[in-house]
Structure 1
């Protein structure tokens, strides 16, 4: 094995080697390194988006909603909530009422999706964590209090302390639209929930919304959160079928799942595309070794005439090609890990220099470039790169072993 290493290194570092072969060899090393670097970096970005999706967006929106089929709401909803609180996968349960209408301030109007909550049940929910203690106490004490998304307030030119009107559509007995119900609300706080949510969402008291929409039982539905948000689809159906009242079942993957699916799709495309980039770089190893074998025919013939076995010749050229893969992989992995670990800071530095913003908080649910390094993916990337490099050496190495010493030395 020591002789294989020695001969492979000598062949690789031979100063008399053809310059074109050296260039192809260097390009294969560079290609493998670049593929590993970009793959690790982009996978870390995808992991970062997935982490921020879970920690930010999924910490704000409910994981599942059960909305009553009946217009009168969910009968005996406190008992249903008590039963759901005992479920081992459920971390939070609350009643709610949806109130979709038009928000009016002066001559400006904007569509809004109000979520009406009960302060008693929502005390441990998401909304209190977005407010100060004083703001939450004010909401509890004022039935006409409301909290609006910061994007919505900017579009209507609103500020905390303003009074607004919300127009709620009403259905008559024959299910036709009648004059809307008007509620006057006091803005006590603005909520920054990230992305589009802040442009059309608000919160108000459940009792007021239920009364305005003639919901007899006081709660239109029940919404909850799970320990693992990514199990929402299966758990929602499992729990929904066990509920006593008839309900419409919905989970976050229906409303906002397209973002998660996009992340998974981009991850798969990145994996395939960059593995192909590494594979193309490995083809350069084949070219390099084929030319090296043709150039080293006399040396190979001399070694075989001195008793070198085919296994030794194959090992030498496989090792020579593997050097390129190892060096390229090592450089790409090190640079990829360093860049992925510091990507948010690097992105902010570049934003400051070029005066641009890569992600806008008004459009996306975050306003910075996230990164989350996964060491399993780093090891898998390195393994794939080295494996492809080794496979690329097989044909040239076998070709070298088939050289006939008598034919070569005779010339």
Structure 2
């Protein structure tokens, strides 16, 4: 005889045609509900991972992982300090900087801007701005005096193109024979970049030598940008590095400047995952109702098996096989469907946009114009495991109820 006996009978019960078609329908709904719940969870979490990846790559590709700045004075011997920072194995690059906040004006248009004075060569090693130039050249910052590279949105607001002149106004007054005047300097636009984030409308880059002249820093730089191999090492690693340097320094990292944004994304991911898990729970309740009806329908069969010597444990395992099989089929189909959709959702959405002639994510509103997706296999394993565990737990009560069936009571009216 086929062993184990409970698996044999459980599979026969599952595959056999039932006299009650409603039970078969509920069983199918349970399987489909579990499949859709698992697939929806995988797809949505993959899309959230995709947005997280894009934000991390675009914004933190422009914003430094950490900065070390002088304590109320420039860092004069910044080359030595930079070399000591690089000795830490977690650091992949450093670059000096001088920053200033001001306004750019052109043809009557005024826009606030954060101006970063950088070394073009060093900055290209820790920032993605050089890789995202759309017009002009990043290298022009080192070739032309008082040149500026700005985001394409900022250039659009000001109405400028490469080769145009813009005036930078700093909130610092200079005293001359004509009186007290704001500090002004004309720059030539030598390039435009686009990373698809709000930084395109608020940041500009100039040569660090020009920034030193503009801010009247005779020697040294204001600080050093530090890029880490793992950006999550930045908060504690930059503190350790600064403590090993000579002198006093101020430190900052990306969690202070943009940490709230990424915490919000992680919170949304958890909440959406929790809400979508309700679909899996609903499917599990369907498994419970399906097995309860099956137990009611098979009372006479259970009584016969009990009179032939079947133990309550054997009866319980028979009906657990049915519930677990529903959960297993629903989970496997849902996992397969979810993985396929997660890998193709970007292309599917692009095809729908082209077919209907609409744009779900406009580049003028959002920082990207497509639906990103990143499939994480640990997420898939967690979702599939949770669905199987929920399905297993859902079988316990109906199977226990079946094991408590009394043969005499069940066969009284047969």
In the alignment, what sits opposite 1:380?
Answer: 382
In 2: Cα distance, 1:170 partner to 1:163 partner: 21
Q: CA deviation at 1:384?
A: 1.1
* Contact residue 95 and residue 123 of structure 2 kept, 8 A: yes
In the alignment, what sits opposite 2:17?
Answer: 15
Scaled by the length of structure 1, what TM-score is found? 0.92
In 2: Cα distance, 1:139 partner to 1:21 partner: 74
In 2: Cα distance, 1:137 partner to 1:184 partner: 19
Scaled by the length of structure 2, what TM-score is found? 0.91
2:155 pairs with 1:153: yes
- Equivalent residue of 2:137, what SS? helix
* Contact residue 88 and residue 241 of structure 2 kept, 8 A: no
Q: CA deviation at 1:172?
A: 7.5
Of 202, 215, 218, 2:217 maps to 215
* Contact residue 25 and residue 285 of structure 1 kept, 8 A: yes
Deviation per CA, 1:261-287: give whole Å up to 9, x if none: 122112211332222321221011111
In the alignment, what sits opposite 1:83?
Answer: 84
- Equivalent residue of 2:170, what SS? strand
In 1: Cα distance, 2:262 partner to 2:348 partner: 25
In 1: Cα distance, 2:234 partner to 2:366 partner: 22
- Could you tell me which runs of 5 or more consecutive residues in structure 2 were left unpaired when the two chains were aligned: none
* Contact residue 174 and residue 182 of structure 2 kept, 8 A: no
- Equivalent residue of 2:61, what SS? helix
- Equivalent residue of 1:114, what SS? strand
Mapping 1:313-324, distance limit 5 Å: 313-324=315-326
Of 367, 370, 375, 2:369 maps to 367
In 2: Cα distance, 1:253 partner to 1:362 partner: 27
Mapping 1:75-154, distance limit 5 Å: 75-119=76-120, 121-122=122-123, 124-126=125-127, 127-131=129-133, 135-154=137-156
Q: CA deviation at 1:350?
A: 1.7
In the alignment, what sits opposite 1:51?
Answer: 53
2:33 pairs with 1:28: no
In 2: Cα distance, 1:377 partner to 1:137 partner: 42
- Could you tell me which runs of 5 or more consecutive residues in structure 1 were left unpaired when the two chains were aligned: none
In 1: Cα distance, 2:260 partner to 2:378 partner: 26
Q: CA RMSD in A?
A: 2.2
Number of residue equivalences: 406
2:257 pairs with 1:259: no
2:75 pairs with 1:74: yes
Of 190, 193, 197, 2:192 maps to 190
In 2: Cα distance, 1:320 partner to 1:135 partner: 66
In 2: Cα distance, 1:186 partner to 1:270 partner: 47
* Contact residue 75 and residue 245 of structure 1 kept, 8 A: no
